[in-house]
Chains A and B, each alone.
Chain A
Amino acid sequence: MATDPTISLKIRTALGEYLKRDPAAIQVTQHLRDDLGLDSMAVIELLYRIEEAFDIQIPDQDLVGLTTVGHVVTYVEKRLGKTALAAPTKKPSTPTKPKNKKKS
């Protein structure tokens, strides 16, 4: 699995810019809502920035698992890693969860 430190840095920088905080003060263990105070709309705006920064698309069904900074980092790493490995196939690799399962 890719462990590119620049991914984590890029995400924390995006978060820092959004929250107007020092990226160095943002920890991967922090919960987006409970620790960083992002409401659901703010999370969506953050992911919009991350989609741009990494040139990926995050499908709706993946949002539910992205609740901490670490989740987002791992998710992006996975997406970039898989995309790179699975080179010629360009279909975005989404987790193999059953599709359209009702969100809680």
Chain B
Amino acid sequence: MADSLIDLQYEFRHQYVSRREFIRRATALGLSLSAAIVFLESCGSSQPTTPGRAIKMGALVPLTGFLAVLGPAMKNNAQMAVDDVNGHGGVIGSQIQLLFEDTASDPNTAVQKAKKLINDDKVDLIIGTLSSAERWAVALSATNPAKAIFINPTYYEGGICNRYFFNVGAVPNQQIEPFIPWLMENKKAKTFFLGGSDYAWPHGSFAAVKSAVAKGNGQIVGEEYSPLGSTDFSGTLRKMQAAKADIVYPLYAGGDGITFLKQFVSFGLHKTSLAASTALSELIIGALPLQDSTGWVASFEYFMTIDTPENKDFVQRYQAKFGSDAIMDSIGEGMRTCVELYVNGVQKAGSLDKEKVVDGMKAAQYADPKGTIHIDGSSQCAYLNDYIAVVAPPGTAPAWQRFQIVKTFTDVKPVQACLARPPG
């Protein structure tokens, strides 16, 4: 049997094209070419320059691909924030028009879409991107060269510095530096095992974790990176078992995070080590069986359970609009912060002129469900609160309500070193 495979023979079907068939095909080709030309010509709009014109806001979100589970919350929040603004008459008389593009969880696609938004749709700014790979690619290949305003909504490892780039997500000194000492003190944690996906965000974040642990005289007993898309973490889990760490700190991207945690639980490791990380969000916990995640600790700049009247009202309105079981995490809510930052910048500038708006954004100050936002002029990142939450035992309430905030660090100033390239 195998012999006939090695000795392969092709048989091409012999097709003859009749004259009629040929004319038909040529006509079809001609028609489609003409249609294509007409179509291409109609694309590409130009920007009117009179005030009162619509503001075009491009939004890059992962609607497909391995990060798609986090996409809808981003899209919904951007939409709701824009609807709120437009409902109040827009900003300086201009309505905002949102243009969503799917990054497909892929940096190449993200860059292409960013270029399309900038060059073709002539947007006034871009908000979004989720993974650090997408973010760096868009910044370095699209928005920086084009001097286009780019606002990032989510926590990341930091490092992008550019006059037109603003970040309203937490950087490590806001999300990790308060977190580690808290863990060491309140959870009596001395030893840490770090496990993550093999790219910029885990590498950059773990660098911050290691330095914080060293400052607290703790010890890193393991650090292991797995390829994206891994389905089996048994080797890493065995090492974690052997190391008997107090804290296991997983930073696996997207679906890998869920896979890892499931296997973590299946090894019974959750009984001997505490899972704590800056990736355990409402969307991740929700995908696991309820009782397994009890006691786990997370640190973010936003939780749905933040106990202020503003946030409660916001969550209520969000669920009224998108469904009573609609949930979001800090990445999703961050999109709202992006929209509000731009709006604030325009208000302060009193015009849509890009340079004036950028200066306006640097001086922005406004209320957001996660607290009051103001921008640090040198890093162009936001001052943020850091919330540390513990997952309460399951009850009758929906999963997202189990995050009990146990500590709040208010108004932490962002500190970041500028990098020319993403950390490897």
Bound pair (A, B): no
B binding-site residues for A, Cβ under 8 Å: none
